Amino acid sequence: MAQVSLEGIRKVYPSGFKAVETTSFTIQDGEFVVLVGPSGCGKSTLLRMIAGLEDITEGTLKIGDRVVNNVDPADRDIAMVFQNYALYPHMTVRKNIGYGLKNRGTPASEIAAKVEDAAKMLNLTEYLDRKPAQLSGGQRQRVAMGRAVVRDPALFLFDEPLSNLDAKLRNQMRIEIKALQRRLGTTAVYVTHDQVEAMTMADRIIVLNAGRIEQIGTPSEIYHNPASTFVASFMGAPPMNLIEAQVDQGQVRINGYDGIMTTPTSANGPVTLGIRPEDIELDGQGSVPFQVDILEELGAHRLLHGQLGGQPFTVLVSKDHAAQTGETQITLKPDALRLFDVETGKVI
């Protein structure tokens, strides 16, 4: 178990491509941190730098109290689960799990005991003598987990470990991984492009975009108080509504709609107004006209896609709420309104 700290970490590839801009953050001991962002945002590069599979161009990386910039991956006391699991195809599950211990000169009897323990923890006992090709996707995933767990490392690194599984299994493994990490209390860094995984698994989320950190925060903070329009639109499904608006003396006016809402801000001029689809009430008494074009049935919820003042807008209502296409009235919850700078996209 260890705290991980990145101080001014930067990555520039020999080709000159800046994969990760100067970045600093600290992961607490036992914390589950998820790095999330669209592909090419530098999240995998960041993880691979922590693992030691990628050189650090600049900055200091500490695992525990030790600077590990130039330490070999094998000596960083980490374990990594890869997207394609990277199981050794010619070895049985038992050997796959025990390989890391064997290379470290652990006595055979101890390896056997530890592998048995790990297998029991992951429900793999009956598959120990099979080869990876004879296992299902979920079982392979568990073997990869077993390989990480068995060494009892200071830090788990996950590189999109669930993206090769089908949706149902993914939900199940999500819970299993989280539960396992809780039980072992091992610090974990988890990379994903799936915002649902990030929201459900993380103690803290780090949202990355184009090699820069957009926001660091708990899932709830990220969801309710996004630091930028990027975070607002990336996190949450459906994403936050972002529409053009004007602020004038503490009053906000949505472009194309004449109504006025008060807002406690000192800014003036054009802004981007953000509101989550579920923070909108659909009622006849509402003051804002909303043109519903498409109804999307999600079972527990209904999504209403349409237009507000000529701008695309989405409203989420519960299944009990009757809804139909056409003109209706809505109320935007005042305390759910978020304002962003039009130029920089940052929250105001």
Contact 344, 306 (CB under 8 A): no
Instruction: Dig out the tokens for 335 from the structure.
Output: 């305390």
Q: Which is nearer to another protein, 111 or 330 (CB)?
A: 111
Three-class DSSP category at 115: helix
Sequence-distant (6+) residues with CB within 8 A of 126 are none
CB of 23 to another protein, least distance (A): 22
Residue 66's H or E segment, with its range, is: strand 66-67
Q: Could you tell me which of 108, 168, 169, 91 has the C-alpha nearest to residue 137?
A: 169
CB of 186 to another protein, least distance (A): 15
CB of 92 to another protein, least distance (A): 11
Sequence-distant (6+) residues with CB within 8 A of 145 are 81, 122, 161, 177, 180
Helices (H) and strands (E) in the chain, counts: 8, 20
CB of 189 to another protein, least distance (A): 14
Contact 34, 187 (CB under 8 A): no
CB of 25 to another protein, least distance (A): 22
Sign of the dihedral defined by the CA atoms of residues 95, 101, 102, 103, in that order: positive
Order of strands across the sheet with 4-12? 18-27, 4-12, 58-63, 66-67
Q: Which is nearer to another protein, 30 or 73 (CB)?
A: 73
Q: Which is nearer to another protein, 95 or 301 (CB)?
A: 95
CB of 154 to another protein, least distance (A): 13
> Contact residues for another protein (CB under 8 A)?
51-53, 72-74, 78-80, 82-84, 86-90, 99-100, 103-104, 131-133, 147
Q: Which is nearer to another protein, 42 or 217 (CB)?
A: 42
Q: Could you tell me which of 95, 114, 28 has the C-alpha nearest to residue 63?
A: 28
Contact 237, 316 (CB under 8 A): no
Q: Which is nearer to another protein, 83 or 200 (CB)?
A: 83
Q: Which is nearer to another protein, 103 or 324 (CB)?
A: 103
CB of 100 to another protein, least distance (A): 4
Q: Which is nearer to another protein, 133 or 167 (CB)?
A: 133
Residue with tokens 């080869």: 131
